[in-house]
Structures are given as C-alpha cells and as structure tokens.
Amino acid sequence: LSEKLESAFKNLKGEARINDLNIANTVKDIRRALIDADVNFKIAKEFTDKVKDKAVGEKVINAISPGQLMVKIVQDELTELMGGSEAAFNVTGNPAVILIAGLQGSGKTTFTGKLASYLKTKKNKSPLLVAADVYRPAAIDQLTVLAGQVGVDIYSERENTDPVSIAQNAIKEAKAKNKNVVIIDTAGRLAVDEAMMTEVANIKQAVSPTEILFVVDSMTGQDAVNTAKAFNDRLDFTGVVLTKLDGDTRGGAALSIKYTVNKPIKFVSSGEKMDTLDVFYPDRMAQRILGMGDITTLVEKAQAQYDEAEAKKLEKKIRKNQFDFQDFLDQLQQIKKMGNLKDLMGMIPGVGKAIKDVDINDDAFKGIEAMIKSMTPYERSNPDVLNQERRMRIAKGSGKDMAEVNAFMKQFEQMKQMMKMMNNMPMGGRFPGMKR
C-alpha cells in the first residue's frame, strides 16, 4: 500500500496548481483569448465570470490537474452557451418552406444551393429553389447555375417584381410537381434597412415558413451580432447559418450571436463548393474557439506558476523528516477528490502499466482516513507520541481493530523512512517538479 500511496503522492507533489491568486490571471487570459476570437467584450466578461464561479465551486484550485479541469469547464460552458447539442432542423410539411434571409454577400444564394444538395443527398428530399431576388437578374442566373450543379429544380419569374407573389407561386408549383421542400432565396442589401426588412417580413407573412434561416458572414465579427439582432427583432428567425468559416475567422461570432439573440446556429458553411455545408455542432465550435484563443496553453501556463510556497513547505517537512499524519491526510484528500484511485494513478506516466493488474481498493484509504481523523491535532503532527493507549482510542474511534492501527503505523513509519532515504540520494531524491 505504501508503495501505491507513494506513487500517487509523487504525482501530486509534481503537479502544478492554480491558486486563488493566479486564477484571477487565468480568467483574465481566457477573457482576452475570447475577445481575440471575436467574442463581444461584454459576453466574454459574463462568460469568464461564470467560468470562474464554476472553477472555484468545482475546486479547481485544489485539483490535481487544475489545468485540464479548467479547460474542461471552459469548453463545457462554451458548448452549453452555443446550444449544448446540435439543433433540430424541421423539414416536415408538404412542402416544407425554408426562407433564407441576410445581408447581401453574406452567402445566402450559395447556402441555398448547399442546403438543397444536403437535403437531396442526405435527407432524401426533392427541393425546389426559388429565386426571390427581383433586383439583380444576375441573382437568378447564379441560383440557376447552382441548381444545375446540385441537380435540383429552380423556380423563377423574370418579369415579376413582387417577391411575395413569386414565393406563393413557387409553392403552388412545388405542390404540382411533388417537391417536398421549397427554399426561398431572398434579396439582401449591404446594410440593414427598412425596405429589405419589410420585404422579407411580407414573404414570411405570405408563406408561413417552416424554418427561417438567417445567414451571416462569420468574418464580419462584431457587426454580425448587430445584424443578427436587427433581423431577429423583425423576423423572429428559427436558426442561424454561419458562413465563410473556411477563412481565418475565429468563430467568436457564433458565441456572440447565440448569446445575443438566443437562437440556435443550425448550419455552418465553409467554402464555395456545394458539398461544404455542415450541421453546427456546439462542441466542435467550442474547440475551435478554444484552439484559436489558445486557451489550453494559457491555462497550462497558469498551472505552471503554481503555489511554490506550499510545495516548499511540504518539501522542507519531508527533508527534516517532519512529514506527519496531517500532511498525509491532506494529500490523501487531494487524491480522493479526483475520484477513482486506480484511474488516477494510471494517468501517471509509467505507472499505468505497472498497476494494471493490481487491485487498488479505495476502501483501504477510507480506513486510513478514519484513523487519522480519530487522532487529535497534536497526535497528527507528532506521530511519535502514539503509544498503545492512544492507539487503542484511535482504533475505537475509527472502528478499526488494534492490528489494523498498528499495521498503519508501521506503514507510515516505512513511508517516512523511504522519504528519508530519498533525501539522502545523490539526486537529492527530488520529487518531479520539486525545486530546491
């Protein structure tokens, strides 16, 4: 047992910790990374405050591997914020009507083609594309080319200047031709304006869409949030499409938009080719944002500036052979927080293989804990005073018998001997990561 304990203990000593002081810095670094990833300042602040609360609540400060735990908290929170799991996309109805809205150049027409391809090949649907951009004849041509590429039908009326009636006629056509999904590509303008909003709102009113997708260029960063808000106020859209993620954009817009309008991101588009449409997975985007801001590295760095004072104190005690029961209990409790002991020890390089077949019983530690807890503070810091009488009392208090208490005392003594030996070794018996 003492051998196993020693391994775990070694790991613990070598591990860097995040403490109360540097957690503030870590949180600040995470915030900066988020802002670098294009996340809105206010959102980044609220987010990191939440992460901090959680980190403290989950005792990251005392965890054996606070860096990993911290990264996990940040990642989980990001994922949660972006909707948790993938959002449902509704294509039921006969036909299902999907309205596409957004600014000019955001990628609406391209997305319309991609969505048609996706629904046709992945969902076994027969889509009809509708060109409802009546201002630019080229827009009809563009959609016609895309429809040809993905092999779906298109509906357009070159003489008609009323997008509402075009949309209505298209739905009639779809019913007649047995098309079960109608995708309406609308006109956009360079900036949010009343005429555009009224036009899309009128189409919405006339066709009662199953889904209204707001398409936004992820490279527009902060602007994307304002645009999303304007469109949502007017259209109450059902989902967001984030385009141009193939650029060097950081994806922070995803977080900001979701946070601001609280609508799910349903698709991401990352390229001009028709097969580069993806369903939006919050956990993947979280990883992207994390990776871009390089939060993982930041947290690891913070972990490295750990509380040396505490480690030094313990090191000194070991050196002077003053390692006592209280220290032992502290270490034991640290280990226990991490959960299953065997898994934990398996993470120590080189130890995993060695203990593969060893039966490590968490209960053994429970017994030890009980015994130490039955000691007075004085006894804990002065192991030598534990005579028969005191041991008897400890046995009673911890529900153990004398033999068990004696065995533990012996093990503890052996452990201390071993520490002493390590101190006298040429290497100084340094524990990994220990500074002298």
Binding mask 182-221 for ligand GDP (x = CB under 6 A): ------x---------------------------------
Residue with tokens 């309205």: 99
- Choosing from 256, 269, 296, 303, the residue that interacts with ligand GDP (CB under 6 A) is 269
Helix axes of 252-261 and 20-36: crossing angle, nearest 10 degrees:
100
How many residues contact ligand GDP, by CB under 6 A?
16
- List b or e across 134-165, with b for residues whose CB sees 16 or more CB atoms inside 10 angstroms: beeeebbebbeebbeebebbbbbbeeeeebbe
3-state secondary structure of 84: coil
Mention every residue, 6+ apart, whose C-beta is less than 8 A from residue 375. 325, 386, 390, 394
- Give the CA distances from residue 104 to residues 112, 170, 185, 236, in Å, rounded to whole numbers and listed in that order: 14, 22, 11, 19
Q: Which residues in the 93-132 window bind ligand GDP by CB under 6 A?
A: 102, 104-110
Token code pair at residue 182: 């109608």
d(CA 369, CA 11) in angstroms, rounded, equals 19
- Choosing from 19, 48, 106, 109, the residue that interacts with Mg ion (CB under 5 A) is 109
Token code pair at residue 401: 């018998």
- Choosing from 244, 250, 266, 416, the residue that interacts with ligand GDP (CB under 6 A) is 244
3-state secondary structure of 3: helix
Least CB distance from residue 129 to ligand GDP, whole Å? 12
Binding mask 110-149 for Mg ion (x = CB under 5 A): -----------------------------x----------
d(CA 154, CA 163) in angstroms, rounded, equals 15
Question: What is the C-alpha end-to-end distance of the chain, expressed in Å?
Answer: 28
Between 87 and 140, whose beta carbon lies closer to Mg ion?
140
Least CB distance from residue 126 to ligand GDP, whole Å? 22
Least CB distance from residue 133 to Mg ion, whole Å? 6
Among ligand GDP, Mg ion, none, the one that 25 touches (CB under a kind-dependent 5 to 8 A) is none
Has 187 been labeled as part of a binding site?
yes
Among ligand GDP, Mg ion, none, the one that 107 touches (CB under a kind-dependent 5 to 8 A) is ligand GDP
141 touches ligand GDP by CB under 6 A: no
Q: What is the DSSP string of 263-314?
A: --EEEEE-SSSTT-EEE--HHHHHHHHHHHHTHHHHHHHHHHS--HHHHHHH
Between 65 and 243, whose beta carbon lies closer to ligand GDP?
243
Task: Name the phi and psi angles at 390, rounded to 5.
Answer: -65, -40
Among ligand GDP, Mg ion, none, the one that 105 touches (CB under a kind-dependent 5 to 8 A) is ligand GDP
Between 109 and 156, whose beta carbon lies closer to Mg ion?
109
Least CB distance from residue 109 to Mg ion, whole Å? 3
d(CA 112, CA 149) in angstroms, rounded, equals 12
- The region of 242-250, 301-309, 318-326, 335-343 touching ligand GDP under the rule CB under 6 A is 242-250
Least CB distance from residue 258 to ligand GDP, whole Å? 19
- Choosing from 2, 90, 270, 411, the residue that interacts with ligand GDP (CB under 6 A) is 270
Closest of 280, 275, 276, 234 to residue 253, by C-alpha: 280
Query: How does strand 239-243 pair with strand 127-132?
Result: unpaired
Closest of 192, 169, 27 to residue 101, by C-alpha: 192
Q: Which residues in the 277-296 window bind ligand GDP by CB under 6 A?
A: none
- The region of 7-15, 69-77, 86-94, 266-274 touching ligand GDP under the rule CB under 6 A is 266-274
- Choosing from 48, 227, 232, 243, the residue that interacts with ligand GDP (CB under 6 A) is 243
Between 186 and 334, whose beta carbon lies closer to Mg ion?
186
Between 136 and 313, whose beta carbon lies closer to ligand GDP?
136
Has 186 been labeled as part of a binding site?
yes
d(CA 73, CA 51) in angstroms, rounded, equals 7
- Site for Mg ion, rule CB under 5 A: 108-109, 139
- Site for ligand GDP, rule CB under 6 A: 102, 104-110, 188, 243-244, 246, 269-272
Could you list the residues known to form a binding site for GTP, using ranges. Answer: 102-109, 185-189, 243-246
Could you list the residues known to form a binding site, using ranges. Answer: 102-109, 185-189, 243-246
